[in-house]
Amino acid sequence: MSARAKVAVLKGGPSLERSVSLRSGAQVQAGLQRLGHDVTGIDVGPGLVGELLDLRPDAVFIALHGRDGEDGTVQSLMEALGLPYTGSGPSACIRCTDKILAKHLMHEAGIPTPDFQALRETSIRDLGAGAAVGAVEARLGFPLVVKPARGGSALGVKFASSSGELPGAMVGAFSYDDDVLLERHVKGRDLAVSLLDGAPPRALPVVEAVPRKEGFYNYEARYQIGMTTFVCPAELPADTTERAQQLAVQVYELLGCHGFARVDLMLEESSGELWVLETNVVPGMTETSLLPQAANAAGLSFDQVLEGVLAGAFDR
């Protein structure tokens, strides 16, 4: 790759994670500028293609979170335009963004992921699937975590500790997606492994998200600066660290990720087992995001990470 590239950084957009994306995008822009690239930030909207056609960048850095940015929409568009872009391609994006698909794939590949059941809104409305919920409860037990199949924010993610709470939790999750995931709740420590491309992919030090208030945890906390403290590297036995990193590499390869990604896991308190929850194809790149922290703990600067991810755009 030439030393100085013309790079468009895609950020913002109409997703529910717009503000995080704007912050990620701003950090990426600043970093790429420090590296000497010619950088243009684009807040994604209806004029996106026009702007890209006018700009004719050498590469596109996708710093979008949530819908469109992570589900393959923008990636397919970049392929249609013939523009090199950072991160995973459309198929990996689809596999990772759809938590249900990702869990099926992991389950089939023998990667531990908490027991789950998917339900589609139309099956409840049209096929009487409401009557099957009881059987699902019996199989998975309580508490259950209910999640919209797609979307990386806390919105719509709910805890149901009894049958009575489940219908409301499901209706809440269906507000964000037609498909909903019911997952056995794993009580334990919340870990994340960020990965960078390589052969094999390079797993960065494990980060642990620790809720700031003792005994207080909700899914919003995980996504809010100040509500959670991140410890990096996580204080874990060496073999647990190694196993978490191994699992993350397996998932990265299984789902076909490219460039970078972050795999979220739980370390179960009762069993000491590791469980993979989900994979994010466009990890947050704000100053307090997990991937930059993990890279830093591994001795890699933010800018070095960016340079590597950008190089991946030309090497697909």
Decide whether 105 or 244 has the Cβ nearer to another protein.
244
Q: How far is the CB of 291 from another protein (least distance, A)?
A: 10
Q: Furthest-apart CA pair in the chain: how many Å? A: 61
Question: Nearest to residue 219, comparing CAs of 287, 282, 278, 285?
Answer: 278
Decide whether 301 or 314 has the Cβ nearer to another protein.
301
β-sheet bridge partners, residue 145: 159, 183
Cis preceding linkage at 84, omega within 30? no
DSSP state string for 235-297: ---HHHHHHHHHHHHHHHHHHT--SEEEEEEEEETTT--EEEEEEESS---STT-HHHHHHHH
Annotation says 223 is catalytic: yes
Annotation says 163 is catalytic: no
Annotation says 218 is catalytic: no
Contact yes or no for 85/60 (Cβ under 8 A): yes
- Name 61's Cβ contacts closer than 8 Å, sequence gap at least 6: 7, 8, 9, 10, 28, 32, 85, 86, 306, 309, 310, 313
Decide whether 67 or 95 has the Cβ nearer to another protein.
67
Annotation says 153 is catalytic: yes
Decide whether 44 or 83 has the Cβ nearer to another protein.
44
In this structure, the strands spanning 38-43 and 6-11 are: parallel
Of the candidates 280, 289, 308, 312, the residue annotated as catalytic is: 280
Of the candidates 151, 156, 284, 308, the residue annotated as catalytic is: 284
Annotation says 252 is catalytic: no
Of the candidates 85, 264, 289, 312, the residue annotated as catalytic is: 264
Annotation says 264 is catalytic: yes
Q: How far is the CB of 95 from another protein (least distance, A)?
A: 20
Decide whether 17 or 98 has the Cβ nearer to another protein.
17
Binding site for another protein (CB under 8 A): 14, 16-19, 67-68, 73, 121-122, 124-125, 128-131, 133, 153-156, 158, 166-168, 170-176, 178, 203-206, 212, 220, 223-227, 229-238, 241-242, 245, 287-288, 292-293, 296-299, 301-302
Annotation says 85 is catalytic: no
Annotation says 17 is catalytic: yes
Catalytic residues: 17, 153, 223, 262, 264, 278, 280, 284
